Every structure is written in C-alpha cells, then in structure tokens.
Amino acid sequence: MQAMIEISVNGQIHRLDVEDDMPLLWVLRDELGMTGTKYGCGIGQCGACTVHVDGEAQRSCSLPVSAAVGTKITTIEGLSPDSSHAVQRAWIAEDVPQCGYCQSGQIMAAAAFLEANPKPTDADIDQNLSNICRCGTYPRMRKAIHRAAALMRT
Amino acid sequence: MTHLPPLSRRFFITAGLSAAGGLAIGTILPGAAEAFGLNAAPYAPAGDGKAAEVNAWILIEPDDSVVIRVAQSEMGEGILTALPMIVAEELECDWTKVRAEYADAHRNLTDGHPYRRMGTGGSGAVRRSREFLQQAGASARARLIAAAAQQWGVDAAACTARDGKVTHAASKRTLGYGALAAAAAKIALPQEPAIKTPEQFRLIGRPQARFDTPPKVNGQAKFGIDTRLDGMVYAAVTTCPVFGGTVKQVDDSKIKGRRGILQVVPIPGGVAVVADSFWRAKQAVADLVVTWDKGAAAKTSSDEFRKEYRDALDGPAANAKRSGDVADGLAKAAKKLDALYEAPHVAHAAMEPLNATVHVQADRLDAWMGTQDPDGALLRAAAAAGMKPEQVFIHNCFLGGGFGRRAINDELTQAVIVAKAVGKPVKLVWTREEDMQHDRYRPQAAIRFKAGLGADGLPVAWDMRTAVGSISRSLGRDPVASGIEPSAVEGLANVPYAVANLNVDCILKNTHVPVMFWRSVGSSQNAFALESFVDEMAVAAGKDPYQFRRTLLAGKPDFLKVLDTLAEKGDWSKKLPAGQGRGIAIHQSFGTIVGEIVEVSVSPKGEIKVPRVVAVVDCGHVVNPRTVEMQIESAVIYGLTAALYGEITIKDGRVEQSNFDAYEMVRFADAPAIETHLALSGGSKWGGIGEPGTPPIAPALCNAIFAATGKRIRSLPIKNTDLSGRA
C-alpha cells in the first residue's frame, strides 16, 4: 500500500495515491484532470509543461511529484481566475498563440520571468526564456512580454 | 470500469470537448439524412433545439448569435477565424455575435458532402473554399431577407440586411436574424444570389482578433491529447526502430505485476502497453524487451543514401519541362556554372505528439484527435476496425501543430486496434521519441544545376535535375508511372526567370524512410537550391543579386512589385559592416509570391545571428491581415529551424535523433525580428498563406551568409558548415 501524497495545486490540497517518482506533469494531467499543462518532450527540453513551484518556473515533466510535496504549485488554470493576469492580457492583446499547444508553458515561464525581471530587455528575454514554440510566435511573445511588463508596473 | 452510457450530445460536450471562449466542437449528431444543398431544409435540430440551421454552414440562435461551421482544421493558421469571416462577409451578420465550430466529417460522408473536402493542406483553406463559403453566406442572407419580406408582405428587393437585421426602409420595419432564421430555413430561393466582388468587402481584409486566442491563454483549449472519457485507459507504443521492421518476440516479464499495467497489445510493426495512466504505460513500454526483425534496411545509413541520391543524378531521369535546346545553349555560353545542392530529411516535430482517443462499441466508433484530414481519418478508422464508414464519428480537436504530419493518421490506426483489443476507451499517445523517430519526413534531395551565361551575364541555358523521394510512392497512393511527381519539381519546372533554353529532369528515388508533405513540400528544398544558385549566377555575372533577378523577371509585374517593395523595405541598398550580410530570395508557391531579405552576422568563431527578416507577400487578397502576418512569422521561423539545424540522420536503418536535445529548434535567442509587408496584386489571385513564407528563408539566409563570408552553402543544415574565420 502506497502512502498518500499530498500536494497543493492552485490553492487546493490534493491527496493522491501515486508513485513518488510519477512526474508532476502526469499527476496534473491524468490524476487531477488539469490538462492545461502540456506534454511536449518529457525531458525538460521544450517547456510545454512549465508550472510554478513556489513561484519559480519549473518543467513539471522532470519533477517527481514527491519533490513538490510541501510546495505551492500553480498551473495555467490557477494563474488567474479570469485570464486577467498581465501576461494573459498581453497575450490576448498581441494575439500571440497560433496552434497554442506550447502557450500554457510559455505564459507560465513569462509570468515567473517578469516577477524576477520587471523591466526586461530583448536580450534578457532571449537569455532567460527557452521554451520551444514550433509555430514561431517568438516575435509576438517578445512584444507581449514588454506589454505585460508595462501592465504590471501600472 | 464505469459502464459507459450510449454516446449523446451531452456526452461529447462533457467529455471535455467544449472549449471556453465560444468554441464548440463535435456537436453534430447523426440524424435523418437527406441530400443537402444551400437551399435545402435544415439537417437536424441543433444546439438546444432553438437554433435554426439555415444551411450546413450556418446556425442562427434566437438571440441573433450565429454559429459558423468550419470544415478545415485549426492548427495555428487562423482558419477558425478567417473562414467564418468569409461567410459573415456575405451573411451581413453582427461579427461580434459570431462563433465558430467544426463541421462534422460523419455528416460530410452521409449527407452528400455538404462540406466538400475537409482536409487542411496545400495552403488551401481560403483559396479553395472562398467562393462556396461566400455563396453559403450570401444564400443564407437572401433567405433571411425573403423570410422577412414574406412576413411583411413586401417585395424582397425592397429589403436590406445588415448587422444581423433585415430592414424594410419604406415602412421602417426591422427584424433580427434570430426571429427570421426558422422561416428562412424553409425557404427555397429561385436562384442563388451573386457573391460580392473584393471592392465590396467590409469585413474581409480588416484585421480581426482570433476566436481561438482566449481559450489558448488559460489552458482551456482542448487538443486531442486532452481528451478524457469515463473509464478511459491509456496506451503507449513502441514500433520497430527500423522502418518496415516487425516484432519477432516480446518479453514483458519486467512489467508483469507492475502497478496499473492492464494489457500488452500487438500493433502493426510494434507493440502497445495499456495502463491506467499514461506515465505508467510509457514507463512500461520502455521496459519491454522486444526482439525485432529489422528487415533489409537494418544496415543503411544517411551517408550511403546521400551518395545514392548524388549518383542517381547521373542515371536515367524523366523530363518534367523542356524548352529550347539546353545542350546547344550550354555549348555556346560565355561562362558555365555547375553546382550540386543537397537537402536532408527533416521532421515535422509538432509540439503536440501524435495521439488519438478511440471508443469502439458494437455499432459505432468514436475517435477524438487532431487531424488535418477528418474525411480520411473516418475511413481509416473504419478500415482498422472492420466497420462501416457510416458507423464512425471523428471528433476533431485543436491541433497542436500539423505542418503536414497530421494529414496521415498512423496513430489512429493503432488506437483503433488497441481500443478493440481492450474493450474500453483508449487514449493512445506517442512519446516525443516515437513521434520523432516515426515521422514521415521531408524527402531527402540532391539537386544539380548547370547553367550557361551569355556575354551579357544573363543565363542562356539552364539544366536542372533533382533526385528526390516520391511522396505518392511512400504513401502507397500511386506508383507514379510517369516518374514525375508535381511536388518533386515544384518551383523548378515553373521557374519564373526568363531563360531561352531550359531543361528540368526528375529522378524519383525512395528508401525505406517514409516521406511526406512538410510545410511547403517540394518548394522547401527546391527554393533553397534554386534561389541560392540564382545568387551564384548573379555573382558570376558580376551583378547585384536583386537587380539580376529584376532583369530576369521582366514582364512579370506581380513578381517585380514584390521584389521592388522588398528591396525598399529591406534596405537592400544600405551598407552593412564587415561580418554582416544581407541575402535575398523570392519564390512562388501555393499561388502566393513571397520575397524575403535576411540580415545575418557571422562571428569570427563562425556563430550565426539573424537579427532581422523582412518579408513581402503577394497572396492577391487578404482575409485577415493579422493572421497573414502571423503565418509569415511562423513560416519564416519554421524554415529557419530547418535551415540552421534540421537534419534527421539514419544509422543502422534507424533515426538517430529522438528528442529536442538532439534535434535543435530555433528558440527566443535565435528568433529574428520579422517585418511583413503586403504587395497585393488583387484581381483573380487568391493565394495560400500557411506555407509560402517558408521556401525563401533558407536561400535568403544562405545568400546572406555568402555576402558576409564569401562561403557558399550548398548543403543543409547550415550547422554542418564551419564558418569560423570566414567573416
């Protein structure tokens, strides 16, 4: 019998009977049914699975659920209740997404990045954000990140 | 397991396929079917039964809101917004009250093909549907007007429609579409109304926000991989690493008794593990010990293939185009050039790995997935299940990228087989590794040009020869007895440059590596070779590459307009410092001309930076300017990834790359600023937009590298060329 694992996601406590080494990604998607966080590569390369763990951007495909115990996890579903986070507003204003599959991860990565870098340059963005977008929304994301930074300052 | 209720409309919606933000998917159920035309009676009560279906494309609700059906697949290209714009332009409804939903492939099959073809490819969503979508909107508008006129007892010609209302000006009466829709649905017009000409457009051509943006910023957009059904189990697969190989033996002792593992199921060329979570299935499939029969290709390698494609250029070929006498022209030329270009296999690598969720019951099969070909997926699922096509329902979702890969749904066949074997709904997901190693790749190609320049430096003879994989043969669609496949020679056989003596030969040559449509298809490798070689000719002639192209495009005003706009917007005449260069390329594909100027800097160590790309587009007309810009940005970056890094290599018959660590992508740090400008020729031209931005980027970049370093790159990807010390 497995011991129950307790994690906090978007302010809610969940008690789960899963293996310690099940990656957080699959706990979110398959156990909790929160499918906004995406599977892209499974090896922490693409960032489609990015969530916040205690406010830091983490690639949940490579984070065993046991390592997230005692932390506060935020997923795209919990970033804001109504798409009102500055990054989401900026993403809508710039019409960033194309296929949209990587965008949950991009938004979560950008939101954490802006907390640490409230007034980033393009070079800061290039150096710090490395999620993959096959639709090539990078130029629009750059614009949207600057717009979000401005929104967050007001 | 939870016993599943019979599938109902409610089931589809609660199964997680109704996305927030006004997108409903798969809400059409089988019903009484009769032959359906624009003028026919409504197909079935829709929605909650209160909305009226005016024709197969248009539903109108009592509150005047309008649902417009979209037959193509939303994979990022913006058709979920652009195609409704075309219908709404004619319908004269209130755009702020329009929603979009997918058309239903089952209805297309059983109801006289009201949606015609539902496939998405060839940059064809707008250009191949535009007229009949306009007609559908115009027809519905005329019937709404007729319904109002009937009710008021006035002449329909005295009524007008605008913003979702019909007005009879003389009597100052107005009725909303919602109040008229049910009556309109029963009206048969004596003849279909004429559709608008472009100068009459009020919505088409004006930038509109995409319908799919809101659900894509909050995690609500449902992709195939997000499907969740009651009692659903999960499958992960492994197939023979050497294409065409088979399973000899499976040793599953390591996974026996492991938590959550339900079943091991044979699939064509491989094996699936079914479990109660995808992660458990994925872990287990990795721990199977499979002995493969790798077949005859088990010793092959990319090096060997590369030589074979080169050698094939000296063998027999089929002629795709001949004008004048190339041999004579070459013999008399003042100067001769000869160059070999090579392009490797590249993967599609869509962000959402292939997946399909299938539920097989005694008399029906339901599949949820993202497909570029719902009609084909339906037939494929029926064949795999041994059921009648009429028993199959495809519930298309958002596609997490397509780029051609989702046109052939190998994953669906597997999911049907596994779902039948386990008797439960199954979500089958390919790992990234499976996705990358079992793609259907862009064909490998070797392309050789011989050209003769006259005393004036202009080409008098041009011989082109390509050895390339046949997509039709690889898909088993057609043996291509002629030896010429249009996509193999696209861009070459229709070269826009004036040359008196031209010869284009084609050698179709396949290996065991499956090949398919990859964004822009043959134009991707052919434009790289052709537009690089045009630069070589210009250099040999001592002419400016822009002016050289200009001369050879004399008499082609649309090409010249793109080229001249490009030179101006791209600062062609401005000098760049040492170590930097500018390159130009222009190419027509899918009815659209795109020219691009790339600025590059090459460091002493040979590192490449692409700070800026300027693109100029002539697609004739534009539906949603915003998505045109987005598609050019997308096509440029997709092509840039391939040009810089893209290379699938074969060793011992199998693909060496398996994930993004070994198959590099353009990320923020590599992404240029991209400026898109329109140089529209209008008229009867309606070109595609999803792909034409891709072909020019590789040659424009290579030409820029030549300008910066003097090094001519004739083999992709660029990462294989050492540029250190060249700048």
Final residue belonging to a domain, choices A16, A50, A79? A79
Task: Check if B213 contacts A (Cβ < 8 Å).
Answer: yes
Task: Check if B615 contacts A (Cβ < 8 Å).
Answer: no
Give the one of B76, B215, B668 whose C-beta lies nearest to A99's C-beta. Answer: B76
Task: Check if B696 contacts A (Cβ < 8 Å).
Answer: no
What is the sign of the dihedral through the CA atoms of A104, B688, B88 and B102? negative
Q: Give yes or no: residues A98 and A74 share one domain.
A: no
* pLDDT recorded at residue B69: 95
Top residue of A27, A98, A142 to mutate, by most chain B CBs within 10 Å, is: A98
Say how many C-beta atoms besides its own lie within 10 A of residue B578's C-beta: 9
Give the one of B215, B221, B636 whose C-beta lies nearest to A136's C-beta. Answer: B636
What CATH number does the domain containing A115 carry? 1.10.150.120
Contacts of B492 (CB under 8 A, 6+ apart): B320, B321, B447, B464, B466, B504, B526, B530
Q: Are B659 and A29 an interchain contact pair (Cβ–Cβ within 8 Å)?
A: no
pTM (2 d.p.):
0.94
Query: CA of B169 to nearest chain A CA: how many angstroms apart?
Result: 39
* pLDDT recorded at residue B344: 98
CA-nearest residue to A96 within chain B is B213
Whether B514 contacts B507, CB under 8 Å: no
Which CATH architecture group holds B19-216? Answer: 2-Layer Sandwich (3.30)
* Residue B380 φ then ψ, to 5°: -65, -45
What CATH number does the domain containing A31 carry? 3.10.20.30
Domain regions of chain B by residue span: 19-216, 224-239+246-293+354-429, 302-346+441-720
Q: Which positions in chain A touch B671 (Cβ < 8 Å)?
A: 126, 136, 138-139, 142
* pLDDT recorded at residue B44: 44
Whether B198 contacts B684, CB under 8 Å: no
Q: Give yes or no: residues A52 and A100 share one domain.
A: no
Q: Give yes or no: residues A31 and A71 share one domain.
A: yes
- Tokens encoding B454: 């006259």
Q: Residue for token digits 């097989």?
A: B360
Q: Are A45 and B626 an interchain contact pair (Cβ–Cβ within 8 Å)?
A: no
CATH number assigned to the domain with residue range B224-239+246-293+354-429, chosen from the 4 options 3.20.20.220, 3.40.605.10, 3.30.365.10, 1.10.260.40: 3.30.365.10
**Pairing mode, if any, of strands B608-618 and B58-60?**
unpaired
Query: CA of A70 to nearest chain B CA: how many angstroms apart?
Result: 23
Q: Are A139 and B672 an interchain contact pair (Cβ–Cβ within 8 Å)?
A: yes
Give the one of B16, B222, B638 whose C-beta lies nearest to A134's C-beta. Answer: B638
Q: Reply yes or no on whether the pLDDT at B343 is more than 80.
A: yes
User: Mean pLDDT throughout A22-42?
Assistant: 98
* pLDDT recorded at residue B322: 98
* pLDDT recorded at residue B290: 98
Q: Where are the beta strands (DSSP E) in B207-344?
A: 233-239, 246-251, 261-267, 270-275, 289-293, 318-323, 335-343
Q: Reply yes or no on whether the pLDDT at B274 is more than 70.
A: yes
- Tokens encoding A55: 């406010």
* pLDDT recorded at residue B51: 84
Final residue belonging to a domain, choices A79, A110, A129? A79
User: Mean pLDDT throughout B707-718?
Assistant: 98
Q: Give yes or no: residues A136 and A102 share one domain.
A: yes
H helix intervals, B570-696 = 625-644
Top residue of B226, B287, B668 to mutate, by most chain A CBs within 10 Å, is: B668
- pLDDT one-digit tens code per residue, B10-62: 233 223 333 222 223 332 222 222 223 444 444 444 455 678 899 999 999 99
Give the one of A34, A96, A135 whose C-beta lies nearest to B401's C-beta. Answer: A135
Interface size, chain A vs chain B, as Cβ–Cβ contacts under 8 Å: 180
Number of domains into which chain A is organized: 2
Instruction: Assign residue A139 a region (left: φ > 0; alpha: ψ between -120 and 50; beta: otherwise).
Output: alpha
**Segment 496-535 of chain B within 8 Å of chain A by CB:** none
Query: CA of B559 to nearest chain A CA: how many angstroms apart?
Result: 26
Give the one of B216, B351, B674 whose C-beta lies nearest to A40's C-beta. Answer: B351
- pLDDT one-digit tens code per residue, B86-113: 999 999 999 999 999 999 999 999 999 9
Query: CA of B329 to nearest chain A CA: how many angstroms apart?
Result: 44
Q: Tell me the pLDDT band of B727, cut-offs 50, 70 and 90.
A: confident
* pLDDT recorded at residue B533: 98
Give the one of A103, A139, A140 whose C-beta lies nearest to B217's C-beta. Answer: A103
Q: Tell me the pLDDT band of A154, cut-offs 50, 70 and 90.
A: confident
ipTM above 0.95, yes or no: yes
Nearest Cα residue to B15 out of B323, B565, B427: B427
Q: Are A99 and B219 an interchain contact pair (Cβ–Cβ within 8 Å)?
A: no
Residue % of chain B over a pLDDT of 90 = 93
Residue % of chain B over a pLDDT of 70 = 93
Whether B663 contacts B350, CB under 8 Å: no
Q: Are B217 and A107 an interchain contact pair (Cβ–Cβ within 8 Å)?
A: yes
Query: CA of A34 to nearest chain B CA: how many angstroms apart?
Result: 9
- pLDDT one-digit tens code per residue, B174-229: 999 999 999 999 999 999 999 999 999 999 999 999 999 999 999 999 999 999 99
Q: Are A39 and B353 an interchain contact pair (Cβ–Cβ within 8 Å)?
A: yes
Top residue of A95, A124, A143 to mutate, by most chain B CBs within 10 Å, is: A95
Q: Which positions in chain B touch A103 (Cβ < 8 Å)?
A: 216-217
Q: Are A45 and B212 an interchain contact pair (Cβ–Cβ within 8 Å)?
A: no
Q: Which positions in chain B touch A26 (Cβ < 8 Å)?
A: 277-279
Q: Are B401 and A48 an interchain contact pair (Cβ–Cβ within 8 Å)?
A: no
Q: Tell me the pLDDT band of A2, cut-offs 50, 70 and 90.
A: low
* pLDDT recorded at residue A109: 98
Q: Which positions in chain B touch A38 (Cβ < 8 Å)?
A: 223, 225, 351-352, 400
CA dist., res. B101 & res. B72, Å (int): 10
Q: Give yes or no: residues A44 and A110 share one domain.
A: no
Q: Give yes or no: residues A114 and A148 share one domain.
A: yes
Query: CA of A150 to nearest chain B CA: how many angstroms apart?
Result: 19
CA dist., res. B650 & res. B101, Å (int): 42
Query: CA of B125 to nearest chain A CA: how many angstroms apart?
Result: 16
Instruction: Give me the torsion for CA of B9, B11, B17, B23, rounded to 10°.
Output: 30
* pLDDT recorded at residue B245: 97
Give the one of A41, A129, A140 whose C-beta lies nearest to B659's C-beta. Answer: A41
Top residue of B210, B218, B223, B258 to mutate, by most chain A CBs within 10 Å, is: B218
Whether A33 contacts B232, CB under 8 Å: no
Top residue of B351, B437, B632 to mutate, by most chain A CBs within 10 Å, is: B351
As to burial, measured by CB atoms within 10 angstroms (0-12 exposed, 13-18 middle, 19+ buried), residue B193 is middle
CA-nearest residue to B75 within chain A is A99
Q: Give yes or no: residues A20 and A72 share one domain.
A: yes
Q: Give yes or no: residues A118 and A140 share one domain.
A: yes
Q: Give yes or no: residues A55 and A102 share one domain.
A: no
Final residue belonging to a domain, choices A62, A79, A96? A79
How far does chain B reach from its first CA to its final CA, in angstroms? 66
- pLDDT one-digit tens code per residue, B432-479: 999 999 999 999 999 999 999 999 999 999 999 999 999 999 999 999
CATH number of the structural domain B302-346+441-720: 3.30.365.10
Q: Give yes or no: residues A94 and A136 share one domain.
A: yes
Q: Reply yes or no on whether the pLDDT at B394 is more than 70.
A: yes
Q: Are A96 and B671 an interchain contact pair (Cβ–Cβ within 8 Å)?
A: no
**Pairing mode, if any, of strands B335-343 and B445-453?**
antiparallel
**Structural domain of A62:** 5-79
Q: Give yes or no: residues A109 and A75 share one domain.
A: no
